[in-house]
């Protein structure tokens, strides 16, 4: 029986098809939608696409796209995120992935400490899978996590990894631009960093050897460049982008 127009409109969206992935991803918004769909398909709660920018520095991670909450990124920090992305449990395409289960850490090869494991669990990342993505010469990793261990579908996860490799290989310029995007000057970046560390404007002025008015000017420029409404939003954007 041919479905009515109403039935067609109310039917669920078709799953992502590999032959349409390349044409669908044309912006950062498309990239976010793509990963949100994959996250739902595999039964995960969260995702993070991480780029390792410098080959000689394992801790220089840039967050290209993510739906982690700001507090989780800030508390866990780039060092741990880079460690999760490039750790011994990270699976290459075609290899059955092994999760980091927070409740079983730090027994998982010393990848995280007991305190870090408890923090991951509290923040809703009780189970974390790290997948290496083969996308040209770029070093990209996808982290998928769930608030409860055993929720993520491993076979579906392996298929999702191949989808990621295929889709991202069609948009190398977009990924590179997202990973390297840093509109701030050195001074603007320094001011945002120290404010994110809890320093006042006067304290930042002393640290940098400039006036308080100059510090405020740098921070205002940073807020404008990020199209943020206040300092907190600018800091959150800079942290999510791996800029500070």
Instruction: For residue range 149-197, list pLDDT tens digits in order.
Output: 999 999 999 999 999 999 999 888 778 777 766 667 778 889 999 999 9
pLDDT value at position 56? 38
Minimal CA–CA distance to 183: which of 228, 139, 140?
228
Q: What is the mean pLDDT of the chain?
A: 83
The residues with which 63 forms a beta bridge, in sequence order, are: 50
Place of tokens 């405020």: 216
pLDDT value at position 138? 80
Architecture of the domain delimited by 186-240: Orthogonal Bundle (1.10)
Please state the domain extents for the chain: 21-180, 186-240
pLDDT value at position 237? 79
Q: Under a CB-based contact definition with an 8 Å cutoff, are residues 163 and 16 in contact?
A: yes
pLDDT value at position 36? 96
Kindly state which CATH superfamily the domain 21-180 is placed in: Transcription factor LuxR-like, autoinducer-binding domain (3.30.450.80)
Q: Under a CB-based contact definition with an 8 Å cutoff, are residues 157 and 55 in contact?
A: no
Minimal CA–CA distance to 208: which of 222, 194, 225?
194
* Of the listed ranges 2-16, 156-170, 187-201, 205-219, the one predicted with least confidence: 2-16
Residue 213 scores a pLDDT above 90 = yes
Residue 108 scores a pLDDT above 80 = no
Pairing assessment for the beta strands 61-66 and 46-52 based on DSSP bridges: antiparallel
**CA gap 143, 151 in Å, rounded:** 15
How many CB atoms sit inside 10 A of residue 115's CB?
10
- The predicted model gives 192-218 an average pLDDT of 94
SS3 66: strand
Instruction: For residue range 15-46, list pLDDT tens digits in order.
Output: 555 445 556 788 878 889 999 999 999 999 99
Residue 142 φ/ψ, nearest 5 degrees = -115, 130
């Amino acid at each position: 029986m041919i479905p009515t127009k109403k039935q067609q409109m109310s039917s669920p969206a078709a799953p992502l098809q590999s032959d349409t992935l390349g044409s669908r991803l044309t912006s950062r918004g498309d990239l976010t939608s793509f990963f949100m769909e994959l996250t739902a398909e595999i039964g995960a709660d969260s995702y993070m696409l991480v780029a390792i920018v410098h080959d000689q520095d394992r801790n220089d991670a840039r967050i290209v796209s993510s739906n982690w909450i700001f507090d989780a990124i800030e508390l866990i920090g780039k060092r741990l995120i880079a460690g999760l992305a490039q750790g011994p449990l990270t699976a290459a395409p075609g290899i059955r992935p092994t999760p980091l289960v927070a409740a079983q850490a730090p027994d998982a090869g010393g990848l995280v400490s007991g305190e870090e494991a408890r923090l991951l669990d509290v923040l809703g990342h009780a189970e974390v899978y790290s997948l290496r993505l083969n996308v040209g010469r770029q070093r990209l990793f996808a982290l998928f996590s769930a608030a409860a261990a055993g929720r993520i579908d491993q076979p579906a996860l392996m298929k999702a990894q191949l989808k990621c490799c295929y889709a991202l290989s069609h948009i190398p310029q977009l990924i590179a631009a997202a990973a390297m995007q840093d509109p701030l000057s050195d001074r603007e970046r320094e001011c945002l960093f120290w404010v994110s560390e809890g320093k006042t404007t006067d304290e930042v002025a002393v640290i940098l050897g400039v006036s308080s008015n100059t510090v405020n000017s740098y921070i205002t420029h940073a807020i404008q460049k990020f199209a943020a409404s206040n300092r907190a939003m600018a800091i959150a954007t800079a942290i999510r982008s791996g800029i500070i």
